[in-house]
Amino acid sequence: MTTPSSSPWRLARRAERMNPSVIREILKVTERPGIISLAGGLPSPDSFPIDAMREASARVLRDSPREALQYAASEGYGPLREWVATQMAAQGLRVDASQVLITTGSQQGLDLVGKVLIDAGSTVAVESPTYLGALQAFAPYEPEVVTVPCDDDGPLPAGLAVAQGARFLYMLPNFQNPSGRCMGEARRAALVDAARAIGLPIVEDNPYGDLWFDAEPPPSLASRWPEGTVYLGSFSKVLAPGLRLGYVIAPPAMMPKLLQAKQAADLHTPGFNQRVVHEVIRDGFLRDHVPTIRARYKQQRDAMRAALEAHLPPGCRWNVPSGGMFFWVELPAGVDATALLPKAVDLGMAYVPGAAFFAADPKPNTLRLSFVTVSPAEIERGVALLAQALKGD
Amino acid sequence: MTTPSSSPWRLARRAERMNPSVIREILKVTERPGIISLAGGLPSPDSFPIDAMREASARVLRDSPREALQYAASEGYGPLREWVATQMAAQGLRVDASQVLITTGSQQGLDLVGKVLIDAGSTVAVESPTYLGALQAFAPYEPEVVTVPCDDDGPLPAGLAVAQGARFLYMLPNFQNPSGRCMGEARRAALVDAARAIGLPIVEDNPYGDLWFDAEPPPSLASRWPEGTVYLGSFSKVLAPGLRLGYVIAPPAMMPKLLQAKQAADLHTPGFNQRVVHEVIRDGFLRDHVPTIRARYKQQRDAMRAALEAHLPPGCRWNVPSGGMFFWVELPAGVDATALLPKAVDLGMAYVPGAAFFAADPKPNTLRLSFVTVSPAEIERGVALLAQALKGD
């Protein structure tokens, strides 16, 4: 018997780039009873179609249990891919079902895109601020991340100069997480033209596009430049996130490698879940269901707007999102939202400090508030507590 | 409007390492009606516990629908992690539930291990032959793969010299895919001692361990060297693969990075699936269910053994597996199993040529036969057709 060495494991260099999610760490702290959490981006469970899920699960396990429980195609369940392609066509993006890859949540879409497109040291361009989960998905592939200058309408076309030569520009045009902003039609046109001019492909992430309150957002970036855009969609916000179902729509030339990456990652997305969701949505269920989510979230958005206007002190600034799940608040210059958080939690509310959403040059005086998880009454009370924390600061 | 460049996409270098699964490509060809496929490693759907699944799904959607359909912890569902830890303890591996990470199938476990441990150009050691899916999971991280010399009992301890300095040795000690071999107790002891002596960590993959026919396999490698082994398990073979549920058991020092990689890959494994499986197994269901699978597969193994003895010409050699799903056949020297396949398919049967299972120096005269998917009568007929193809060769 030889003496064991203390630790035989040697980590890959990329492991240094991996970090625990700031949001998930905050969520742990704030899950204690009594805290009003405006931190998480959790859809309201009141919006989950539980009866429809129950009936669909029973039908799948009655009509095709052997198929639903067996290994399945890496591409995804055929009828679900067809459904997605048809749905996209209705939104102005003509795609064939063969361009649809079903993923284990749209987070997996981000991982596969990173795996196929990012070399260590290659450049990836993002918005300012941007979705934290995307930064985490890309990080293990060791990109240099550059930030495109943005205004309230999204990335500035002239700002794409910094992204010249990047592997792709990652964007969330509809009700962005975390800023809540929705890119207007003119900006979309100008931005896609500018990207195409410098040969900069786009990764368009659209988990929130269906959650509009007043008017549908403009057509996707992908519909303006199909061969230059990979589009990511999700069932998490219109049905339920616990099923982990998303999809990637890719130009035909990109599909083989994305599919091989998918195969290597988890063979396929659970067939049971794919069939249950298809069973729920096949006959137009979402046509009636999604408007109920919109109405619910709009009411909660209004409650948060009213609360912010009533309670926040002068010097605070916020957008009013026309869809999605988030307000983005700028506190007076000099206030550090990260430092303020423990005080807010002591008072009984939580939010996510904005700094984590910047790939570079974080704005310490920003924070993200979600209005979808808790009731209007709790939103009012939570924002009042935030104001109290600010006053005591 | 500027002229669009033909393709703006530039693939990562690692994409060159990705290839379509040979097996999945073969399965596509052989899915046409009338073909007796001994190719796929698909568990028999007759073994799926459909009634139990139906009841468990209904219970989960009745008792905890909001939790089952909401975002959940990246680590996995607490009670399922506890179940796995308890189960492992019964097999001689003392682990805490905090060392259990639930994955989207054990294929995802392989991907996460690769992501956390492999640098481009670093060395990974495998058996000869080895599981193709593992080679595919590791390939995107660009390792140099070295093959440890093996005999019918698995890797030779003296052979580990070639693995000196490798990030890990990947092994499937129980009823290996594709060879069917099961490593004996003495070899396990000698191999772990040799690995420990050179500080070579082990990744132990155990999807088939419960499928023994006569006697339980010896204790896991992990139980001999817990701090030097990452262990992968799966519910695919004892319940159903379409749920995509597996788990990683790791030394405490490894968990944080594996968890961060998991978060980045798909946030978490579907909570619905985790709760349904826990509901099925919590009260000892597998104690009665797994023996029915063993009995079924043993009968099919016996049918294949008899068919091979009856039909294969002299000069063919095969193991008789004492568990699992596969026979590994060596054809007479000079016969190329890849070249023979189209002829076999024309006659009405399919298998997987063995060459794909070698990281280096493939043996062209080998092939893998699965005995679990089709009935004893079809096994008999399929093997007879294989013999016919060989005679005509």
The verdict on A100 and A21 lying in the same domain is no
Share above pLDDT 90 across residues of chain B, in percent, rounded to a whole number: 91
* Closest partner CB to A8 (pick from B69, B199, B236): B199
* Closest partner CB to B137 (pick from A19, A243, A264): A264
Compute how many other C-beta atoms are within 10 angstroms of the C-beta atom of residue A120: 18
Q: Does residue A8 lie in a domain region?
A: no
The verdict on B312 and B345 lying in the same domain is yes
- The whole domain housing B278 covers 52-284
Q: Which residue of B has its CA nearest to A5?
A: B199
**Based on the number of CB atoms within 10 Å of its own CB, is B69 exposed (0-12), middle (13-18) or buried (19 or more)?**
buried
Give the pLDDT confidence score for residue B297 in this predicted structure: 97
CA distance B72 to B293: 32
Q: Which residue of A has its CA nearest to B11?
A: A117
Which helix (H) or strand (E) element contains residue A278?
helix A271-281
The number of residues in chain A equals 393
Question: A200: which chain B residues are within 8 Å (Cβ-Cβ)?
Answer: 8
**Based on the number of CB atoms within 10 Å of its own CB, is A285 exposed (0-12), middle (13-18) or buried (19 or more)?**
middle
For residue B75, the number of C-alpha atoms closer than 13 Å in the C-beta half-sphere is 20
Q: What is the mean pLDDT of residues B325-335?
A: 97
The verdict on A32 and A99 lying in the same domain is no
Question: A74: which chain B residues are within 8 Å (Cβ-Cβ)?
Answer: 24
3 state SS of B205: strand
What is the sign of the dihedral through the CA atoms of B211, B216, B217 and B219? positive
Above 90 in pLDDT, residue B20? no
Check CB contact under 8 Å for B266 and A251. no
Q: Report how many helices (DSSP H) and strands (DSSP E) chain A contains, helices first.
A: 13, 15
User: Which residue is it, tokens 């608040």?
Assistant: A329
Strand B168-171 to strand B154-155: parallel, antiparallel, or no bridges (unpaired)? unpaired
Please give the full DSSP string across A56-93, using - where no structure is assigned: HHHHHHHHSHHHHHS---TT--HHHHHHHHHHHHHTT-
Q: Does residue B2 lie in a domain region?
A: no
**Based on the number of CB atoms within 10 Å of its own CB, is A141 exposed (0-12), middle (13-18) or buried (19 or more)?**
buried
Q: Which two tokens stand for residue B314?
A: 């002299």
Q: Does residue A61 lie in a domain region?
A: no
Compute how many other C-beta atoms are within 10 angstroms of the C-beta atom of residue A255: 18
Give the pLDDT confidence score for residue B30 in this predicted structure: 66
Check CB contact under 8 Å for A8 and B251. no
Above 60 in pLDDT, residue B137? yes
Which residues are CB-contacts of B287 (< 8 A; sequence separation ≥ 6)? none
The verdict on A126 and A210 lying in the same domain is yes
Mutation target to probe the B interface, by most B beta carbons within 10 A, among A1, A14, A106 is A14
CA distance to partner chain A, nearest, from residue B67 (Å): 8
Look at residues B319, B316, B348 and name the one whose alpha carbon lies nearest to residue B38.
Answer: B348
Look at residues A314, A313, A295, A264 and name the one whose alpha carbon lies nearest to residue A372.
Answer: A295
Which residues are CB-contacts of B151 (< 8 A; sequence separation ≥ 6)? none
Q: Do the Cβ atoms of B71 and A37 come closer than 8 Å? A: no
CA distance A98 to A177: 29
Q: Does residue A58 lie in a domain region?
A: no
Q: Does residue B145 lie in a domain region?
A: yes
- Cβ contacts below 8 Å, chain A against chain B, sum to 274
Give the pLDDT confidence score for residue B180 in this predicted structure: 97
Mutation target to probe the A interface, by most A beta carbons within 10 A, among B16, B54, B71, B372 is B71
Q: ipTM of the predicted structure?
A: 0.95
- Report how many domains make up chain A: 2
* Cα R_g (chain A), whole angstroms: 21
Q: Does residue B259 lie in a domain region?
A: yes
Q: Which two tokens stand for residue B5?
A: 């460049």
The verdict on A234 and A368 lying in the same domain is no
Q: Do the Cβ atoms of B370 and B39 come closer than 8 Å? A: yes
Q: What is the CATH number of the domain that holds B254?
A: 3.40.640.10
Q: What is the CATH number of the domain that holds A26?
A: 3.90.1150.10
Q: What is the mean pLDDT of residues B126-137?
A: 96
What is the distance of C-alpha A279 from the center of its chain?
A: 25
Q: Do the Cβ atoms of A202 and A192 come closer than 8 Å? A: yes
CA distance A2 to A5: 9
CA distance to partner chain A, nearest, from residue B301 (Å): 21
* Closest partner CB to A193 (pick from B2, B140, B271): B2
The verdict on A293 and A218 lying in the same domain is no
The verdict on B275 and B316 lying in the same domain is no
Phi, psi dihedral angles at A151 (to 5 degrees)? -120, -165
Q: Does residue B8 lie in a domain region?
A: no
Q: Do the Cβ atoms of A237 and A201 come closer than 8 Å? A: no
Three-state SS letters, A189-223 = HHHHHHHHHCCCCEEEECCCCCCECCCCCCCCHHH
Above 50 in pLDDT, residue B2? no
User: Which residue is it, tokens 């790791």?
Assistant: B250
**Model confidence, pTM:** 0.95
Using pLDDT thresholds of 50, 70 and 90, give the confidence band for residue B344: very high
The residue from B284, B300, B320 where one domain ends is B284
Q: What is the mean pLDDT of residues B133-162?
A: 96
What rounded mean pLDDT belongs to chain B? 94
Which helix (H) or strand (E) element contains residue B369?
strand B366-370
Question: A257: which chain B residues are within 8 Å (Cβ-Cβ)?
Answer: 11, 15, 18
Question: B5: which chain A residues are within 8 Å (Cβ-Cβ)?
Answer: 196, 199
Question: A270: which chain B residues are within 8 Å (Cβ-Cβ)?
Answer: 104, 242-244, 270, 273
Mutation target to probe the B interface, by most B beta carbons within 10 A, among A67, A102, A257, A370 is A257
The residue from A248, A282, A316 where one domain ends is A282
CA distance to partner chain A, nearest, from residue B25 (Å): 11
* Closest partner CB to B9 (pick from A115, A201, A263): A201
Q: What is the mean pLDDT of residues B117-129?
A: 97
Check CB contact under 8 Å for B53 and A71. no
The verdict on A247 and A334 lying in the same domain is no
Question: B264: which chain A residues are within 8 Å (Cβ-Cβ)?
Answer: 18, 107, 111, 133, 136-137, 139-140
Question: A69: which chain B residues are within 8 Å (Cβ-Cβ)?
Answer: 45, 48, 50, 53, 240-243
* Cα R_g (chain B), whole angstroms: 21
Check CB contact under 8 Å for A70 and B272. no
The verdict on A200 and A100 lying in the same domain is yes
Q: What is the mean pLDDT of residues B336-362?
A: 94
Q: Do the Cβ atoms of A66 and A269 come closer than 8 Å? A: no
The verdict on B35 and B80 lying in the same domain is no
For each of chain A's 393 residues, which pLDDT tens digit applies?
Answer: 344 457 899 999 999 888 877 777 777 766 678 899 999 888 999 999 999 999 999 999 999 999 999 999 999 999 999 999 999 998 889 999 999 999 999 999 999 999 999 999 999 999 999 999 999 999 999 999 999 999 999 999 999 999 999 999 999 999 999 999 999 999 999 999 999 999 999 999 999 999 999 999 999 999 999 999 999 999 999 999 999 999 999 999 999 999 999 999 999 999 999 999 999 999 999 999 999 999 999 999 999 999 999 999 999 999 999 999 999 999 999 999 999 999 999 999 999 999 999 999 999 999 999 999 999 999 999 999 999 999 976
The residue from B284, B304, B322 where one domain ends is B284
Give the pLDDT confidence score for residue A30 in this predicted structure: 65
The verdict on A311 and A182 lying in the same domain is no
3 state SS of A111: helix
The verdict on A151 and A213 lying in the same domain is yes
Check CB contact under 8 Å for A115 and B1. no
Check CB contact under 8 Å for B264 and A107. yes
Question: A260: which chain B residues are within 8 Å (Cβ-Cβ)?
Answer: 15, 18-20, 136
What is the sign of the dihedral through the CA atoms of A63, B38, B127 and A268? negative
**Based on the number of CB atoms within 10 Å of its own CB, is B215 exposed (0-12), middle (13-18) or buried (19 or more)?**
exposed
Q: Does residue A4 lie in a domain region?
A: no
The CA-based dihedral angle spanning residues A302, A305, A307, A313, taken in that order and rounded to the nearest 10 degrees: -170
Q: Do the Cβ atoms of B343 and B336 come closer than 8 Å? A: no
Angle, CA B273 vertex, CA B236 and CA B270 arms, to 5°:
110
Give the pLDDT confidence score for residue A6 in this predicted structure: 72
Q: Report how many helices (DSSP H) and strands (DSSP E) chain B contains, helices first.
A: 13, 15
The CA-based dihedral angle spanning residues B122, B124, B128, B133, taken in that order and rounded to the nearest 10 degrees: -110
